[in-house]
Amino acid sequence: MARRTLETLVFDNTYARLPQAFYAKLNPTPFASLPYLVHANPAAAELIDLDLEQFERSEFAELFGGKVLAPGMDPLAMLYSGHQFGVYVPQLGDGRAILLGEAMNHRGERWDLHLKGAGMTPFSRDGDGRAVLRSTIREYLCCAAMQGLRIPTTQALCLVGSDDKVYREQVETGAMLVRMAPSHVRFGTFEVFYYRKQYEHLKTLANYVIEQHFRHLHDADEKYAQFFNEVVERTAKLIAQWQAVGWAHGVMNTDNMSILGLTLDYGPYGFMDDYDADFICNHSDHNGRYAFNQQPYIGLWNLSCLAQALLPLAEKEALKASLDAYTPQFEREYLKRMRDKIGLVEEKTEDDELIRDFLSLLQGSRADYTIVFRALSTFSSVEGVPNEKLRDHFLDRDRFEEWAIRYRDRLKSEDSHDGERRGRMDRVNPKYVLRNYLAQTAIEKAQNKDFSEIDRLFRLLQDSFTEQPGMERYALPPPNWGKHLTVSCSS
Ligand code: AMP
Ligand code: MG
């Protein structure tokens, strides 16, 4: 297959051919200072057939720093609205991102190249249209981490830095990130046309999304209801994956919910260190609306906003039936993953309780979520073996002992073999996750133009399940300074 250069990328901009009401066409606003490449992602480049040697060219940073356009790009800012913290905001839209175009690969797939931090758009409201280096590093690394964890996500092609000042709580420098996804349509893209009573546009959007991304529904009866049903399924599955890995999104507004069930829009997210079901990673989320244990319910709440927006197109009863199926679906998906995490193969009704009680043990000890699940694979089911090292993670050792007896019996009931189970468990319980403090270390170095830690984490997290030589310290609990770093919406 021929690899493409920046000049020979192939674009086919389907979104730009939708009615004008869907977007505002405009070019990115480049930085005043010279843009430079901070990091680029070979796997993402391959998705658009881009030759990796293109990373070395100064034109690469110019293109993805918004200074020039490639032939065939047709840049636009997408319109959407959404419910933010439960309140409907009639117009949001790409306030600081620009869809440069849809790059086609040799398989005929289209990938949105969405430039985040590309300057003001008609949807910027009070914002400056910019993104800061700190937040783009967090997004860039977390995309790689999610990819490594096999959790559906948007991808990040590259990160471009600048010396331009951007004002947040402090003075920071501006950066741009190229986000890639088959589509950036959100729940809020449907909501905007529903609340404006522009039902023709609503239908055009639904038909477009089905044609592009749910083509198997083209001739289906009640295709809009079926489309919604699939969004419900994808969302339930996505959130089950977040819960299983101990990750909180932080701002699950309906404008940050992907219609494809991808993790979208990385802001004040967090992987849990110590297990706390009420974990709130977003410092600005005072009421804990988006706390870790609220995410499954918020998924449902957001889906009901989407259902509402689809009322002009689909039968209410059908939409409601899909919504009703969400919670059982989520629970099934979640339980399946948690069973895998504790190494069970067969399904038994008591598993739910066994898992809950293990989480309650973790909660009582504020034990490290990632480390303890990883350590559980060392559990010996041999009678009389005390599993001391594992027990040491818990404050209440007696409670652990009680649990361990039940776990041992449960493993015996399916003739579980310790060695074989360990291998299986290590393939689902990550050794490395992107702890906030690790991202913070990379950010601080990058602010002094040392990008080596970004590169190290990027490589490490692509393979989160395999022990990597020399990387032991990345699997340790956070140091004290790194335990309760505050991350807010400011990005
Ligand atoms: P977010 O919280 O990143 O999902 O953003 C919510 C809305 O605010 C979206 O419409 C964003 O485009 C917009 N937004 C966030 N930050 C900025 C900014 N610095 N400048 C302009 N718009 C922004
Ligand atoms: Mg957003």
Q: Is the CB of 124 under 6 A from ligand 1?
A: yes
pLDDT for 488 equals 74
Both 127 and 253 in one domain: the answer is: no
Ligand 1 atom with the smallest distance to the CA of 267 is 3
Residue 150 sits in the same domain as residue 259: no
With respect to residue 58, please indicate whether it lies within any of the assigned structural domains: yes
Expressed in angstroms and rounded, the spacing between residue 354 Cα and the centre of ligand 1 is: 42
What is the torsion angle, in degrees rounded to the nearest 10, for the CA atoms of residue 60, residue 65, residue 71 and residue 72? 130
Rounded Cα distance between 34 and 51, Å, is 23
Which residue puts its alpha carbon closest to atom 11 of ligand 1?
A: 95
Is 129 a pocket residue for ligand 1 (Cβ < 6 Å)? Answer: yes
The residue segments making up the domain with residue 133 are 10-83+92-184
The verdict on 141 and 71 lying in the same domain is yes
313 and 329 housed in the same domain: yes
167, 96: one domain: yes
Question: Using CA atoms, how far apart are residues 489 and 84, in angstroms rounded to an integer?
Answer: 12
**H helices within 342-396, ranges in order?**
351-365, 369-376, 388-391
The tens place of each residue's pLDDT in the chain, 491 residues long, gives 779 999 999 999 999 999 999 999 999 999 999 999 999 999 999 999 999 999 999 999 999 999 999 999 999 999 999 999 999 999 999 999 999 999 999 999 999 999 999 999 999 999 999 999 999 999 999 999 999 999 999 999 999 999 999 999 999 999 999 999 999 999 999 999 999 999 999 999 999 999 999 999 999 999 999 999 999 999 999 999 999 999 999 999 999 999 999 999 999 999 999 999 999 999 999 999 999 999 999 999 999 999 999 999 999 999 999 999 999 999 999 999 999 999 999 999 999 999 999 999 999 999 999 999 999 999 999 998 989 999 999 999 999 999 999 999 999 999 999 999 999 999 999 999 999 999 999 999 999 999 999 999 999 999 999 999 999 999 999 999 998 887 877 78
Closest CA to 173 of 182, 159, 187, 161: 161
The verdict on residue 482 lying in a domain is no
- Name the residues around ion ligand 2, CB cutoff 5 A: 256, 265
Cα 472 to middle of ligand 1, angstroms? 37
Domain endpoint, select from 184, 217, 245: 184
* 480 part of a folded domain: no
Claim to verify: residue 175 and residue 208 sit in the same structural domain:
no
247 in the same domain as 150: no
Between the CA of 255 and the centroid of ligand 2 the distance, in Å, is 6
- Pick from 84, 125, 253 the residue to mutate for probing ligand 1's pocket: most ligand atoms within 8 Å of its CB: 125
Q: Does residue 466 fall inside a structural domain? A: no
Residue 113 lies in a domain: yes
Query: Ligand 1: distance of its center to the CA of 95 in Å?
Result: 5
Alpha-helix residue ranges (DSSP H) falling in 42-85:
42-47, 58-63
Rounded to the nearest 5°, which phi and psi values hold at 98?
-135, 130
Check whether residue 61 and residue 157 sit in a common domain: yes
Atom of ligand 1 nearest to the CA of 93: 10
Number of domains comprising the chain: 2
Q: Quick one: 164 and 219 in the same domain?
A: no
Give Cα separations from 133 to 99, 141, 146, 162, 230 (angstroms): 20, 12, 20, 8, 36
Do 40 and 166 lie in a common domain? yes
**Residue 255 annotated in active site:** yes
Last residue of a domain, one of 307, 340, 373: 340
What is the residue type of 242? Answer: W
Quick one: 210 and 259 in the same domain? Answer: yes
Of residues 49, 94, 112, 255, which has the active-site annotation? Answer: 255
Distance, CA of 339 to CA of 39 (rounded, Å): 37
Is 430 within the bounds of a domain? no
Assigned domain for 40 exists: yes
pTM score = 0.98
Q: Is residue 455 part of a domain?
A: no
Is residue 111 located within the same domain as residue 212? no
Q: Domain boundary at 184, 212, 247, which?
A: 184
Nearest CA to ligand 1 atom 22: 95
